[in-house]
Amino acid sequence: MNSMTSLSKYLPYIFEGSLWSLGLVLGGLGIGFMIGVMFSLIEVYNNSPLKKLISLYIWFFRGTPLIVQLFLFHWSIFPALGIKSTPLTTSITVLGLRSGAYQSQILRGAIGSIEETQMLAAKAVGMNDWDAISSIILPQALRIALPQISNEYSIILKDSAICFILGVMELMTRAKYTAIATGIALIPYLVAGLIYMGLTYIGTKLFDLIYLKMKIPGSVEG
Amino acid sequence: MSEEIVLRVKDLYKRYENKVVLRGISFEVRRGEVKVIMGPSGTGKTTLLKCIDMLVKPDSGKIWLKDLELTDPRIDISEARRKIGFVFQEFNLFHHLTAIKNVMIGLTKVKKLPKHEARTIAERSLLKVHIGRELWDKYPAQLSGGQKQRVAIARALAMEPMIMLYDEPTSALDPQLTGEVLEVIKELAEDGMTSLIVTHEVGFASEIADEIMIMMDGKIIEKGDPKNILYNPQREETRRFFNKILRIGGGSR
């Protein structure tokens, strides 16, 4: 009984972890988005050796487990580069770099699905490449990619739990500490699980709202 | 029609892999002139128009827009393209923009005009192609084919081009919608808009053209004023071509 009352004291502590988790997710998703846009554009429009480097990058981040990446960056790459990184900054960076690999593929597909004639029409109006990409191609590609980016959000959210391994004070870490401190495993993990489900629900609903708001009237897709 | 030459094409060649599409095309278009290109499908008419706008790079030959050589690789081609209006067979309106924004975007992005100025010009262009106020905020997917093509014409027109290129502007339209588009093209031409038009509409061509050029196998095989070309063609191929499209198309409008 004693452990149950102390458990209730821990609940706010666990809830606070969801803010950290959300920080990891939004940071990772944001960094990943910027990388994704940059890389997808290079992959589609640029025929430079950069493309080879990018496919190597994507291979690495899609081909290795997140936990390996976290350890590698936190314990060898960052120290070797002389970068002082906290568990939180390493986690956000790695989640972002990793998501960039996935988002670049999402966006590449979306850009590829836009008819080439859109680019042609933009050029015919007199736009240069950058104007055409930024005001014609990307706005359409982002609409097409949105459902998959929403999916990416729910994946990173759950990936972020692995960051407990570096001791980031996110949901999973706090659930674990609570379990140790109270000797009760079921409830802390159950609460953490429910919060993850809640965050998934709220996040994907938000993406659905954005999707509906951005949807081009009259069109079937996008 | 003035003596001033707006567009000059000289000895244009283009091949795709092992197919030669254009084999030595030369002609001129004068200010205010309406030139129509006709000929069977797959003879390079679309490629020719795209080459003129440098959307497709010709292999050899030269193109001038007034004094500006478009084929010169050192020029800023985006800058040059804004002076050429291009109307595509498939309209190619920007899907994510309303009708009026489709017309405005070239003005704000390319000409860097302030929004209210761009809007005024866009409104004027849309009215010119008979797209009424009630359609301005519609998206392309909410417009009929004929409306889409007229918005596309307004988009090109708003940039105040020196010449309009029309690539089979009614070929993707249902027959009952071609009239409204041809009517607009005709009105613009009568207003003095220099035009180069690829079309299969014989009646329209004969009505509007100062000269019709017949293109076959990447060459201009015959040209002349509409009456001569239609009723008294010099080449057997031209005669056969008209026989065929008139039979299939059920005659001129």
**Local confidence pLDDT in tens for the 253 residues of chain B:** 678 999 999 999 999 988 899 999 999 999 999 999 999 988 999 999 999 999 999 999 999 999 999 999 999 999 999 999 999 999 999 999 999 999 999 999 999 999 999 999 999 999 999 999 999 999 999 999 999 999 999 999 999 999 999 999 999 999 889 999 999 999 999 999 999 999 999 999 999 999 999 999 999 999 999 999 988 899 999 999 988 887 765 444 4
Tell me how many degrees the CA angle A186-A191-A194 measures, rounded to the nearest 5: 120
Looking at every residue in chain A, the average pLDDT score rounds to: 94
DSSP string, chain A: -HHHHHHHHHHHHHHHHHHHHHHHHHHHHHHHHHHHHHHHHHHHH--STHHHHHHHHHHHHHHS-HHHHHHIIIIIIHHHTT----HHHHHHHHHHHHHHHHHHHHHHHHHHTS-HHHHHHHHHHT--HHHHIIIIIHHHHHHHHHHHHHHHHHHHHHHGGGGGGGT--SHHHHHHHHHHHHS--HHHHHHHHHHHHHHHHHHHHHHHHHHHHHSPTT-S--
pLDDT at A222: 41
Measure the CA–CA gap between B203 and B170, rounded to whole angstroms. Answer: 13
pLDDT at B243: 87
- What burial class does residue B227 get, using C-beta atoms within 10 Å of its C-beta: 0-12 exposed, 13-18 middle, 19+ buried? exposed
Buried b (16+ CB within 10 A) or exposed e, A64-103: eebeebbbebbeebbeeeeeebebbbbbbbbbbbbbbbbb
Judge whether A120 is closer than 8 Å to chain B, CB to CB.
yes
Q: What is the pLDDT of residues A11-45, one digit of tens each?
A: 999 999 999 999 999 999 999 999 999 999 999 99
In a domain, A173, yes or no: yes
Measure the CA–CA gap between A221 and A113, rounded to whole angstroms. Answer: 11
Least Cα separation, residue B171 to chain A (angstroms):
16
pLDDT at B17: 87
In a domain, A35, yes or no: yes
Indicate yes or no: CB of B156 within 8 angstroms of CB of A125. yes
In a domain, A153, yes or no: yes
pLDDT at B127: 97
Percentage of chain A lying above the pLDDT 90 cut: 88
Closest-CA residue of chain A to B144 = A218
Where is B15: in which H helix or E strand? strand B5-16
In a domain, A9, yes or no: yes
Please answer whether residues A156 and A21 qualify as being in contact, where contact means their C-beta atoms are separated by less than 8 angstroms. Answer: no
β-sheet bridge partners, residue B64: B8, B69
Q: Which two tokens stand for residue A74?
A: 């936190």
Report the length, in residues, of chain B.
253
pLDDT at A5: 74
pLDDT at B2: 76
| Domain encompassing residue A44 | 2-214
In a domain, A221, yes or no: no
Measure the CA–CA gap between A127 and A139, rounded to whole angstroms. Answer: 15
Other beta carbons less than 10 A from residue B147's beta carbon: 23
What is residue A116's three-state secondary structure?
helix
Judge whether B96 is closer than 8 Å to chain A, CB to CB.
yes
Whether the predicted pLDDT of A141 surpasses 60: yes
In a domain, A99, yes or no: yes
Q: How confident is the model at residue A3 (pLDDT cuts 50, 70, 90)?
A: low
DSSP, res B52:
H
Measure the CA–CA gap between B218 and B29, rounded to whole angstroms. Answer: 19
Among B78, B113, B148, B165, pick the best mutation site for testing chain A contact (most A Cβ within 10 A): B78
| Sequence letter at residue A41 | L
Among A125, A135, A137, pick the best mutation site for testing chain B contact (most B Cβ within 10 A): A125
Q: What is the pLDDT of residues A71-124, one digit of tens each?
A: 999 999 999 999 999 999 999 999 999 999 999 999 999 999 999 999 999 999
In a domain, A222, yes or no: no
Judge whether A145 is closer than 8 Å to chain B, CB to CB.
no
Please answer whether residues A207 and A149 qualify as being in contact, where contact means their C-beta atoms are separated by less than 8 angstroms. Answer: yes
The tokens 């674990």 sit on which residue?
Answer: A176
Closest-CA residue of chain B to A117 = B92
Please answer whether residues A20 and A170 qualify as being in contact, where contact means their C-beta atoms are separated by less than 8 angstroms. Answer: yes
In a domain, A220, yes or no: no
Say which CATH number the domain at A201 has: 1.10.3720.10
Least Cα separation, residue A41 to chain B (angstroms):
19
Contacts of B139 in chain A (CB under 8 A): 216-219
pLDDT at B247: 73
Total number of domains constituting chain A: 1
Judge whether A118 is closer than 8 Å to chain B, CB to CB.
yes
Q: What is the pLDDT of residues A47-78, one digit of tens each?
A: 788 999 999 999 999 999 999 999 999 999 99
Contacts of A122 in chain B (CB under 8 A): 94
- The mean pLDDT value for A163-169 works out to 95
